[in-house]
């Protein structure tokens, strides 16, 4: 059995992770921490987990996590905290999967610029691996520190990657228009997340400044072999969970539907990537670790419109973290994740 510890267990991503780990046949949860609910049972905060996970929540003390005997530590924390907690000593004792942003970007300077906070362990960046399994599977194996990708980035990168990798589009023309449910904003009390502020409303935010932009550019630049600068605009939709990314780009001369179809064949053996004929919808990936991808070519404009849909708490966070854990410990990647959509109709 893999012994697992989670810090930040009562946030939305952390709670979804606890739910998945509780149902995993090869995992035993040995430690849960929460800054806000120390001394309470996890099931007191999430009553739907009664008799499934009644572990008493500890405070977010990294030394206690170290002493728990865990084989893997999941960090579901705000930006800037993981880089304080993760050390060489910690990594010698357990694998760490960071659901936050501290180890996603290869440059500490880029991190500081976009996240407006210091990086406290830049020396560990070269030891971290970007945990998008479909792209970095071989690099993840054997690592001790995995940077779990962001939700918008997972959806956008996987949707565009085959087009960029196979040099089918003009990368200077990439525009990503993405929408997310409100759980992407976290569980903290914020005016902009209140029901009356979100319900019956639709808005863009983080225009030209969203923190996931350099993460998408980093990974697509690696795929392309040259630096990519793109336009990314996120929007908030009045639903609980889900992301739909609509990605636009100019096709290179001579590229047609057969070329695009052949490019997406790279995902044919991926258990969580579904290339579909219909246009993706968030309800069909809700509660899963799946991504649905489709595309349309507009012959009038010479552009391709590629669309991807994920659950921001599933493939965009907790599900992806479990997939990474499975890979690290030599398990079938689908273990604990073979779940059908929670709302198939």
Query: What's the rounded Cα separation, in Å, for the pair 307 and 291?
Result: 10
Distances (CA, A) of 116 to 123, 139, 142: 19, 29, 32
Query: What's the rounded Cα separation, in Å, for the pair 75 and 64?
Result: 14
Tell me which DSSP letter residue 150 carries.
P
Annotation marks residue 151 as catalytic: yes
Distances (CA, A) of 46 to 38, 185, 189, 245, 316: 14, 18, 17, 30, 21
Please count the other Cβ atoms lying within 10 Å of the Cβ belonging to residue 99: 28
Asked whether the beta carbons of 155 and 121 are under 8 A apart, the reply is: no
Q: What is the DSSP string of 268-301?
A: TT-TTEEE-SSPP-GGGTTTSS-EEEEEEEETTT
The residues, any chain, with a CB within 8 Å of residue 29's CB and separated by 6 or more, are 3, 4, 5, 6, 18, 21, 22, 53, 55
Angle at 111 between CA 106 and CA 112, to 5 degrees: 140
- Given 95, 151, 155, 247, the catalytic residue: 151
Q: Which residues are part of the catalytic machinery?
A: 151
């Amino acid at each position: 059995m893999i012994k697992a510890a989670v810090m930040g267990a009562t946030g939305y991503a952390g709670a979804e992770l606890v739910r998945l780990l509780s149902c995993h046949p090869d995992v035993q949860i040995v430690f849960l921490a929460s800054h806000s609910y120390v001394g309470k049972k996890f099931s007191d905060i999430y009553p739907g987990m009664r008799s499934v996970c009644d572990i008493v929540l500890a405070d977010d003390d990294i030394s206690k996590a170290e002493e728990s005997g865990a084989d893997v530590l999941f960090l579901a924390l705000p930006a800037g905290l993981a880089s304080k907690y993760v050390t060489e000593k910690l990594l010698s004792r357990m694998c760490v999967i960071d659901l936050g942003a501290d180890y996603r970007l290869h440059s500490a300077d880029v991190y500081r610029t976009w996240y407006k906070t210091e990086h406290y362990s830049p020396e560990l960046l070269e030891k971290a691996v970007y945990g998008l399994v479909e792209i970095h599977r071989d690099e993840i194996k054997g690592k001790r520190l995995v940077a779990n990708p962001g939700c918008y980035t997972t959806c956008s990168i996987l949707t565009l990657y085959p087009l960029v990798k196979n040099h089918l589009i003009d990368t200077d023309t990439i525009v990503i228009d993405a929408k997310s449910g409100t759980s992407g904003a976290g569980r903290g009390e914020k005016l902009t997340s209140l029901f009356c502020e979100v319900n019956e409303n639709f808005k863009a935010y983080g225009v030209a400044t969203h923190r996931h932009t350099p993460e998408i550019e980093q990974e697509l630049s690696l795929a392309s072999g040259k630096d990519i600068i793109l336009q990314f605009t996120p929007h908030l939709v009045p639903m609980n969970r889900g992301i739909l990314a609509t990605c636009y780009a100019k096709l290179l001369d001579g590229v047609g539907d057969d070329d695009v179809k052949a490019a997406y064949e790279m995902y044919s053996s991926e258990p969580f990537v579904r290339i579909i004929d219909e246009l993706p919808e968030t309800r069909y990936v809700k509660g899963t670790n799946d991504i649905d991808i489709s595309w349309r070519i507009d012959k009038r404009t010479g552009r391709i419109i590629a669309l991807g849909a994920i659950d921001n708490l599933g493939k965009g966070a907790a599900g992806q973290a479990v997939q990474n854990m499975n890979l690290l410990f030599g398990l079938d990647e689908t273990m604990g994740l073979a779940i059908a959509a929670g709302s198939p109709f």
